[in-house]
Amino acid sequence: MNLDQGIVFAVLGITLALFVWNRLRFDVVSMLALLAMAFTGLVPADELFSGFGHPAVITVAAVLVISQGLVNGGVVDAIARLLGRIGHRPTLQVLTLTSMVALCSGFINNVGALALLMPVAIWMSRDAGRSPSMLLMPLAFGSLLGGTVTLIGTPPNIIISSYRPEGAFGLFDFAPVGLAVTVAGIAFITLVGWRLTPRRDDGAAGKKLFSVGDYVTELRVPEGSASAGATLHSLLTESGESDDLAVLALIREGARKITPSTFTVMLEGDLLLIEANTESLQAFLDNTDLELATGALLALQRELDNERTNADGLPKDSSDEPSADDEDAKAPIGLDEGDLQLMEVVVSSGSILLGLSANRLGLRERYSLNVVAVARRGQRIQSRLGDVRFQAGDILLVQGTQDGLTETLITLGCLPLAERGLRLGSSPKVALAAAVFGASIAAVVSGLLSAPVALVGGAVAMVLVGLLSAEEAYKSIDWSIIVLLAAMIPVGQALETSGGAQLLANQMLILGGDFSLAAVLAMLLVVTLLLSNVINNAAAAIVVAPVALSLATSLNVPTDAVLMAVAMGASSAFMTPIGHQSNALVMEPGGYQFGDYWRLGLPLSIIVTVVAVPMIMLVWA
């Protein structure tokens, strides 16, 4: 081992340790690794940032934009709506959900597919009176399995394709192996696997996390009140309850102001809609001269489940919505559904809320958003909401204006749990989104255009036809993934150019003796699989792919076969919640613990290995 190889191994070792330590963001760690390679001269200065223009990175960004366009067009929502009618049998629910998320994951981002179907799974669980833990882990694993079927299904496939000496794999070159693995995995999860998931009796099954009507009260500023002329801020702070109260609306002379500014000056006769529990409300009344208005303890939005489900208990479509006259007759005083919207959302693993509180972020002032309640692991948090530091997977009940709430949630990185009513795109938009996506796929399959060109063209087309704005397109890109890939690609190339990959391959040959092809493929798949469970799966693919190519050269085995083994292993992070964002996303809503994942993940990993290796030999060897 020469000096350059020693430096490369040291940098990679420290990088992997930092990934496992998980105290620094993985994109930051990858940039540190790239800078270390630059300082040591192992990556030339003119190639240092070449990863940002790498075809694989461009393709990943384009797929993320197209995924958002399909979501906005209502394509996946229209599919998801059908799942509300499959009944309560757990086996049928697991089969349908995992199959559907796998199908979606083959063509859009894994996490995006999971985020769209997770609300349906939670709604099904509550409707059947079961814990969501029974469905959410199978759903997450189904999204990982589905990503193995196509080139664009998951970033590791795109990365692996870029290492192919003969040129990139085709869109469906992964399908023979990926489809076999997916079918076998779904069959196991449906027949046996879901029974291995933990049963969390967390109180969330079969009932709502939040009963909003019990916490919303109408207060009036009476004539001669000392509060008249004071700002809303002073009224809240002087009462000492500012963190435990949410002002949902101010009604003045019939005019409604949703989420009023805390600098609003109060006048006699003003009505305030306040969200607070009984203790906080009583303390607020004791410290002010406001009085309960007639009709206090309003059922805000008239119990969300009744409002957003039809008589059969299924999510409404647009034809189920009441008329404007009906709404006016039923609406609480001063409220209009066009103004207010309450929604349950889950904090994603990439949210800007992580580690911060509502007070620190200034959600009310900066985003006109009220956090009405927070639930963690199926239990409503009773502490002061303003001081709660948000974690990935927390479920929030938020309130904002209907026009701005969706945009705000995108900005904050929160995903709506829309089990009370799936948002459907109009038929023309569904057809338009499907047509643009279909044209991009056809261009790739026919060989008319390369994948990066066709998919970037599809992303631009979706902006031009109005399926998403340019701003939404930029926001839909997970820039942490882009930075990770762009930084790690030159690092992986340094492993190859320094001879480090060949050195590792030689050591594996010495240790293993005369490996059969099946043993080589199984070893590469398992090594990549294990790495993917502790570091980002794209990073695992970048680290192992050069070694796999060197091993293939030394053993004179097909390079396509070893690359496929690495790709399958990189998409099999089933045993930990940190291996993939999909696993992390379901952890809190499902009430899972770290050690729960291996119970289903370990046997599923074995099945993937047993099925993938012979299929790779059959197709690619």
pLDDT in tens, 225-252: 888 888 888 888 776 655 567 787 888 8
pLDDT value at 209 more than 50: yes
> Do 550 and 165 form a contact (C-beta atoms < 8 A)?
no
Q: How far apart are CA 358 and CA 361, in angstroms?
A: 5
Tens of pLDDT, residue by residue over 122-175, are: 778 877 778 888 889 999 999 999 999 999 888 899 999 989 988 889 889 999
Tens of pLDDT, residue by residue over 56-108, are: 889 889 988 988 888 788 766 666 667 766 777 889 999 999 999 999 899 88
pLDDT value at 600 more than 90: yes
Tens of pLDDT, residue by residue over 1-30, are: 788 889 988 998 898 888 878 778 888 999
Q: How far apart are CA 261 and CA 281, in angstroms?
A: 20
Tens of pLDDT, residue by residue over 252-284, are: 887 777 778 778 888 988 888 887 766 677 778
pLDDT value at 456 more than 90: yes
User: Which phi and psi angles does 223 have, rounded to 5°?
Assistant: -65, 140
Domain boundaries, the chain: 3-203+475-620
CA separation, residue 15 to residues 25, 156, 541, 573 (Å) = 12, 18, 14, 19
Determine whether 426 is exposed, middle or buried from the number of CB atoms within 10 Å of its CB (0-12, 13-18, 19+): exposed
Q: How far apart are CA 150 and CA 168, in angstroms?
A: 13
Task: Give 308's pLDDT tier (boundaries 50, 70, 90).
Answer: very low
More confident residue, 44 or 413: 44
More confident residue, 518 or 359: 518
Residue-by-residue DSSP string for 81-97: HHGGGS-S-HHHHHHHH
- Residue 41: left if φ>0, alpha if ψ -120 to 50, beta else—which one? left
What does the chain come to in residues? 621
More confident residue, 213 or 125: 125
> Do 122 and 80 form a contact (C-beta atoms < 8 A)?
no
Q: In what order do the strands lie in the sheet with 216-220?
A: 255-258, 246-252, 271-275, 216-220, 291-292
pLDDT value at 117 more than 50: yes
Tokens of 145: 């399995």
Residue 607, SS3? helix
Question: What is the mean predicted confidence (pLDDT) over 103-126?
Answer: 81
**What is the pLDDT at residue 377?**
63
CA separation, residue 396 to residues 47, 417, 588 (Å) = 44, 9, 12
- Residue 194: left if φ>0, alpha if ψ -120 to 50, beta else—which one? alpha
Amino acid making up residue 463: V
Tokens of 381: 């948090």
Average pLDDT, the chain: 80
Alpha helices (H) in 192-293, listed in sequence order: 232-239, 278-287
**What is the pLDDT at residue 102?**
94
Question: What is the mean predicted confidence (pLDDT) over 591-595?
Answer: 80
Tens of pLDDT, residue by residue over 473-528, are: 998 888 888 898 899 889 888 988 888 888 888 887 777 667 788 998 999 999 99
Determine whether 36 is exposed, middle or buried from the number of CB atoms within 10 Å of its CB (0-12, 13-18, 19+): buried
pLDDT value at 327 more than 80: no
pLDDT exceeding 90 applies to what percent of the chain?
24
Tokens of 170: 């085709």
The separation between CA 39 and the C-alpha centre of its own chain, rounded to angstroms, equals: 35
The helix (H) or strand (E) run that includes residue 371 is strand 370-376
Residue 417, SS3? coil
Tens of pLDDT, residue by residue over 520-574, are: 899 999 999 998 887 778 888 988 998 899 888 888 889 999 999 999 999 998 9
Nearest C-alpha neighbor of 584 from the set 108, 9, 137, 218: 137
Q: How far apart are CA 294 and CA 226, in angstroms?
A: 21
**What is the pLDDT at residue 64?**
85
